[in-house]
Structure 1
Amino acid sequence: MILGVTGAFGCGKSAVLAAFAAHGWRTADADHLCHELYAEPEGPLARQFAARWGREVLTPEGAVDRRRLGAIVFADRTELEFLTGTLYPELSRKLDGLIADCRRAGEDGAFELPLLYEAGYGDKFDRVAAVWAAPEIRHARLREQRKFSEDEIRLREARQLPADAKLERADFGVINNDGLAELELQIGRLVRLLNGSVR
């Protein structure tokens, strides 16, 4: 089973992925995969970004400087579109390789992509699970744990499908309003369902 995991900013996708890993699933998240792509000195992304914005978007070692890049792309929709148009094909290739590895090994895999639907990646997966949490809970988590301002949260949310729309499109919903223990119980039930052993 190859499962895509998506959801809104701050809904707890990483905790869901950790719960799948605890059940023996292979897991990967888009943020980590993107970090690997950005960290590659003079890699495909570094070369394309430097050609567009100059070498000031690179570290001295030739990797992508994410903070400098963010300052450019989050302030200008055209630049953000260039970033995503450049990043998504590279991310897609990396993801395809991981999925192929899982299938060859006969392993279950859960792959977290916040922009799964926005990037058109839904067809890569056997099923999709959307993680959902009430907006006030998500916002409180983001303010307290990650120190985001309300304006920063809204800016990021504006660049994604609404949380409710992701939940409606997914094959399964994981509701993350009631803490880690309840979340882990839901993932246990979902794993049994996906393995065909739910009574």
Structure 2
Amino acid sequence: MTFVLGLTGSIGMGKSATAAIFRRLGVPVHDADAAVHDLYRGRAAPLIEKAFSGTVADGIVDRPKLGAAVLGDPQRMKALEAIVHPLVREEEEAFLRRVSALASVAVLDIPLLLETGGEVRCDAVLVVTAPASVQRERVMARPGMTEEKFKAILLKQMPDADKRARAHFVLDTSRGFAAAEAQARSILACLAGRPGRVGRQGHG
């Protein structure tokens, strides 16, 4: 049985770098953001165009146009989520079926895991964290980032302290790559031999 470890963390906390560490250690990782990106170039595009006319060009969702169509409108955002979320879940379940016979641990990299109740699909939750000053420095260094954008993103995310309180494991990314990898290895050692929720027949 494959143990499903949910990986999450607020913006700038080092989630993507941590996912890369797990991949380097041989752990299969499903990236929810990458799945959305692929869906926007594939199965989701015609469904989104039908719901939000003019947001797809040449079979690919135009993210700025889609953003303009849904941002600030909760009903439209819910309509978009109703299209995209089930498709992402299908991709996630297909991933878990593929790796169930191959891996003792699989990672689901989901940015808003706790905010959306996604922890119920995991055997344990790993939250990546860093001091607020480090987080701010990382985020503000991103191209096009402004103080207003940063504040708006934080408002959508559960506070870091609350995430850490709900985590089974916490990984501090502020001490460098080697320290983060050591923590990841320690977590995998803790999980060794633990029964998970995914068997050869798939998720469940």
User: Under a length normalisation based on structure 1, what TM-score does the superposition of the two structures give?
Assistant: 0.88
Question: Does the 8 Å contact 2:28/2:103 carry over to 1?
Answer: no
Q: Deviations over 1:120-154 (max 9, x none)?
A: 22122221101112222112111113441111111
Between the two proteins, what is the percent identity of the paired residues? 28
Q: Distance in 1 between the 2:181 and 2:151 partners? A: 28
Q: Deviations over 1:136-186 (max 9, x none)?
A: 211211111344111111112212222222211111111222222221221
| 1:28 aligns with one of 27, 30, 34 | 30
- Would you tell me which structure has more helix in proportion to its own residues? 1
| 1:174 aligns with one of 171, 175, 188 | 171
| Poorly superposed stretches of 4+, deviation over 4 Å | none
Asked if 1:195 corresponds to 2:197, the answer is no
Q: Distance in 2 between the 1:79 and 1:136 partners? A: 35
Q: Which runs of 5+ in 2 are unaligned?
A: 194-204
Q: Distance in 1 between the 2:93 and 2:134 partners? A: 33
Question: Does the 8 Å contact 1:26/1:109 carry over to 2?
Answer: yes
- Could you tell me which residue of structure 1 aligns to residue 201 of structure 2? none
Q: Distance in 2 between the 1:107 and 1:25 partners? A: 8
- Could you tell me which residue of structure 2 aligns to residue 48 of structure 1? 47
- Could you tell me which residue of structure 2 aligns to residue 149 of structure 1? 146
Q: Distance in 2 between the 1:20 and 1:181 partners? A: 13
| 1:19 aligns with one of 18, 21, 43 | 21
Q: Name the amino acid aligned to 2:25.
A: H
Q: Is the partner of 2:125 in helix, strand or coil?
A: strand
- Could you tell me which residue of structure 2 aligns to residue 133 of structure 1? 130
Question: Does the 8 Å contact 2:27/2:103 carry over to 1?
Answer: no
User: Under a length normalisation based on structure 2, what TM-score does the superposition of the two structures give?
Assistant: 0.86
Change (3 A) 1:105 1:116: same
